[in-house]
Amino acid sequence: MRVRELNYRTIWPSEHGNAVEVIDQTRLPHRFEVVQLKSLADMVHAIKTMQVRGAPLIGAATAYGLALAMREHAGDEYLRQAASTLLSSRPTAVNLRWAVQRMLQCLEPASVAERADLAWREAAAICNEDVAINQAIAGHGLALLQALHEEQQRPLNILTHCNAGWLATVDWGTALAPVYAAFDAGIPVHVWVDETRPRNQGASLTAWELGQHGVPHTVITDNAGGHLMQQGRVDAVVVGADRVTRGGDVCNKIGTYLKALAAYDNDVPFYAAVPSSTIDWQIADARSEIPIEERNAEEVGHIGGRLADGTFAVIDILPAGSAVANPAFDITPARLVTGIITERGTCPPDSLPVLFPEFQP
Amino acid sequence: MRVRELNYRTIWPSEHGNAVEVIDQTRLPHRFEVVQLKSLADMVHAIKTMQVRGAPLIGAATAYGLALAMREHAGDEYLRQAASTLLSSRPTAVNLRWAVQRMLQCLEPASVAERADLAWREAAAICNEDVAINQAIAGHGLALLQALHEEQQRPLNILTHCNAGWLATVDWGTALAPVYAAFDAGIPVHVWVDETRPRNQGASLTAWELGQHGVPHTVITDNAGGHLMQQGRVDAVVVGADRVTRGGDVCNKIGTYLKALAAYDNDVPFYAAVPSSTIDWQIADARSEIPIEERNAEEVGHIGGRLADGTFAVIDILPAGSAVANPAFDITPARLVTGIITERGTCPPDSLPVLFPEFQP
């Protein structure tokens, strides 16, 4: 997508093929900075500190992490060790495991001498496929938004939580892909952007990328969405996901469940837009089987932003001595979900196995 | 309640009876500052900027605002003008209207010469009654918490939104009054404190006052409560309110509705604790009849806190050019409310007229 008139992806190999470059998402919206990652350790650090984040992008970053590792040492033991280090960097997004498995399937049968080149090619293929998948999601989501718009005959109001835009993927996005497609097709669309505490991915990333593309949007606190739905000011909720079960439970950024409850209570359709790499076919019970990452308590009390003089600062909003809890994800049960938008089309939450019969047990 | 070993109320007359002192709640938790208000204009400013806030305290502040006005000029016209200025300072809390009506009933029949002294006495009486009412709420709420604790045989986890503690009243609080009573009675209690964006009254006021009293508590983002309820880690939600209809709809800080939905979805009891001055007997339909204050957009993007060097600063978290909406309250329909805790006892939301038969139409 475009940033100041130039086209960018969120991740790409450096010119000489020995490093990976990413947009540092911890600096946005205040600074647009590209960082170069030269080693597996750099990539693990980037994933853990959320310089790269978003389930599909974490998948692509994992693939490139293994590619960087194969330049360091291509032996079996290091490959397994690198895979395991990456797997433990973030526990909730299943795309990480998906990418590791796909890379291992490609690399394990190959000779040590071939592995590095093979890994770089496979990582690039994963990135290109992600873009194609998101374009397919855009098309299927666009059909939904078009139908909603024809029904309503007025500008569409979409509410989204966290960032599932192009910054969360290699390009285009998942939840925002249909919004960009609708905007580009001339459908009047406006996005309510949940700020998404504690890390403010909505206020800092979603608002920024919608602004760069010119899509009308309004930032709201995470508390406001229910009220807006009660007032009939939201036509659909569209979010991404970090993991979706085969039964259609949606594990996504903390707070998504609250918006799904409000959507259900106000007859507002609630969609999750995901590539199939986000679906975990092995899990039956989301609540007991999906590990919910508990992130550093400092993320809640410490907030970064721009001072009046334009410099960046971090403030502490809490009284000394107050304890903090910081669960990063929650689970929206399938009963609250209207549909899952995938690269193969949109289906009710319990019909994912119909769209993807090859994953049947 | 106690602040650094001294007893405080949130509002009191200055020693010589010509000014009012309040704790400046916009400075907490970083600084504990008392400000002196010398005129009606000072009081209106304090209410609008939320140096004083919380429905019951707004009522007491309104009474003292009229007392200050009567020192300026005690004629009929200025009395009516002062009442109308105060009424328009914040639109949602009904305690403001309640206090104006009570003061007018007291002052209008009196002679101009008597009015100033009468107004100061009536404002003091309103404050003392608020404290007594909150102690009664504490007692009725304590009975509920005691019963919950006996049922569960483990520490009680109470979730609260915004600040309905002693800082929101003259003393003791509404939602937190039962918590203080339980803590003082030796019942093990722990409070989940919603930070309550955009103004962070949970993180800055509730956490601070619970900490001063030694009550165990954990600050969470507004997004986290639903997840904690799904996990069985919340035994009851207790909030205050800015206005409750006679049918039991609860108008409270934006985001309350989302917590009530989650409580209902997880069989967690949801209580609003309010003095009867918060009940609006005139309103039938909360959604169409209660004005929802839309506050300044700057409150969402601009956050105040402590820099690493201990100084106070305000940061901007938003990208330039993003629009912001900032509705300050929402309405929780009575169907999601387990009970209303009042100074006369706890009742189902539709039974308020039984507890207060004198307000029957």
Question: For residue B203, which residues of chain A lie inside 8 Å, CB to CB?
Answer: 301, 317-318, 322
Q: Is B257 close to A227, i.e. CB distance below 8 A?
A: yes
CA torsion through residues A225, A227, A229, A231, sign:
negative
Answer yes or no: is pLDDT of A253 > 90.
yes
Answer yes or no: is pLDDT of A192 > 80.
yes
Question: For residue B249, which residues of chain A lie inside 8 Å, CB to CB?
Answer: none
Q: Is B315 close to A301, i.e. CB distance below 8 A?
A: no
Percent residues over pLDDT 90 in chain A: 94
- Give the residue-averaged pLDDT of A101-110: 98
What confidence tens digit (pLDDT) does each residue in A17-67 have?
789 999 999 999 999 999 999 999 999 999 999 999 999 999 999 999 999
Average pLDDT, chain A: 96
Percent residues over pLDDT 70 in chain B: 100
CA angle A270, A274, A276 (to 5 degrees): 135
Answer yes or no: is pLDDT of B127 > 90.
yes
Alpha-carbon gap: B347 to the closest alpha carbon of chain A (Å):
25
Task: Tell me how crowded residue B80 is: count the other CB atoms within 10 A of its CB.
Answer: 12
Asked if A317 and A211 count as a contact pair (C-beta separation under 8 A), the reply is no
B248's tokens: 């039991």
Q: How many CB pairs under 8 A join A and B?
A: 228
Q: Is B226 close to A193, i.e. CB distance below 8 A?
A: no
Answer yes or no: is pLDDT of B67 > 90.
yes
Alpha-carbon gap: B224 to the closest alpha carbon of chain A (Å):
6
Percent residues over pLDDT 90 in chain B: 94
Alpha-carbon gap: B221 to the closest alpha carbon of chain A (Å):
6
Measure the CA–CA gap between B109 and B218, rounded to whole angstroms: 50
Residue of A nearest to B317 (CA): A305
Q: Is A219 close to B300, i.e. CB distance below 8 A?
A: yes
Residue in A220, A303, A325 nearest the CB of B224: A325
**pLDDT confidence of residue A152:** 86
Answer yes or no: is pLDDT of A361 > 80.
no
- Of the residues A242, A249, A280, A330, which is catalytic? A242
CA angle A161, A163, A164 (to 5 degrees): 100
Percent residues over pLDDT 70 in chain A: 100
B71's tokens: 């020192």
**pLDDT confidence of residue B361:** 64
Residue in B220, B223, B261 nearest the CB of A261: B261
Question: For residue A231, which residues of chain B lie inside 8 Å, CB to CB?
Answer: 287
Q: Is B331 close to A29, i.e. CB distance below 8 A?
A: no
Residue of B nearest to A197 (CA): B221
Residue in A292, A308, A316 nearest the CB of B306: A316
Q: Is B227 close to A257, i.e. CB distance below 8 A?
A: yes
Residue in A200, A258, A307 nearest the CB of B226: A258
Answer yes or no: is pLDDT of B145 > 70.
yes
Reported confidence tier of residue A212, pLDDT bands at 50, 70, 90: very high
Answer yes or no: is pLDDT of B123 > 90.
yes
Best mutation target among A209, A212, A215, A221 (most B Cβ atoms within 10 Å) is A221
Q: Hey, which residues of B are catalytic here?
A: 242
Q: Is B313 close to A319, i.e. CB distance below 8 A?
A: no
Question: For residue B227, which residues of chain A lie inside 8 Å, CB to CB?
Answer: 254, 257, 292, 327, 329-331
Q: Is B318 close to A29, i.e. CB distance below 8 A?
A: yes
Answer yes or no: is pLDDT of A16 > 90.
no
* Burial of A215 from C-beta contacts in 10 A (0-12 / 13-18 / 19+): buried
Best mutation target among B259, B322, B326, B335 (most A Cβ atoms within 10 Å) is B322
**pLDDT confidence of residue B121:** 97
**pLDDT confidence of residue B93:** 84
Per DSSP bridges, beta strands A270-273 and B279-280 are unpaired
Measure the CA–CA gap between A222 and B195, rounded to whole angstroms: 11
Average pLDDT, chain B: 96
**pLDDT confidence of residue A5:** 81
* Burial of A30 from C-beta contacts in 10 A (0-12 / 13-18 / 19+): buried
Alpha-carbon gap: B130 to the closest alpha carbon of chain A (Å):
27
| A5-19, A267-281, A289-303: range with lowest mean pLDDT | A5-19
Answer yes or no: is pLDDT of B2 > 90.
no
Residue in A223, A224, A331 nearest the CB of B230: A331
Q: Is B222 close to A222, i.e. CB distance below 8 A?
A: yes
Residue of A nearest to B266 (CA): A261
Answer yes or no: is pLDDT of A72 > 70.
yes
Question: For residue A155, which residues of chain B lie inside 8 Å, CB to CB?
Answer: none
Measure the CA–CA gap between A36 and A51, rounded to whole angstroms: 11
Q: Is B223 close to A306, i.e. CB distance below 8 A?
A: no
- Residue B76, C-beta contacts closer than 8 angstroms, at least 6 positions apart: B108, B112
Measure the CA–CA gap between B38 and B42, rounded to whole angstroms: 6
Measure the CA–CA gap between A138 and A327, rounded to whole angstroms: 30
Give the 3-state secondary structure percentages of chain B, helix then strand then coil, rounded to 5.
45, 20, 35
Q: Is A254 close to B221, i.e. CB distance below 8 A?
A: yes
- Give the residue-averaged pLDDT of A244-255: 97
Answer yes or no: is pLDDT of B6 > 90.
no
**pLDDT confidence of residue B17:** 79
Identify any residues that bridge with A271 across adjacent strands, giving them in sequence order: A238, A339
- Give the residue-averaged pLDDT of A303-312: 94
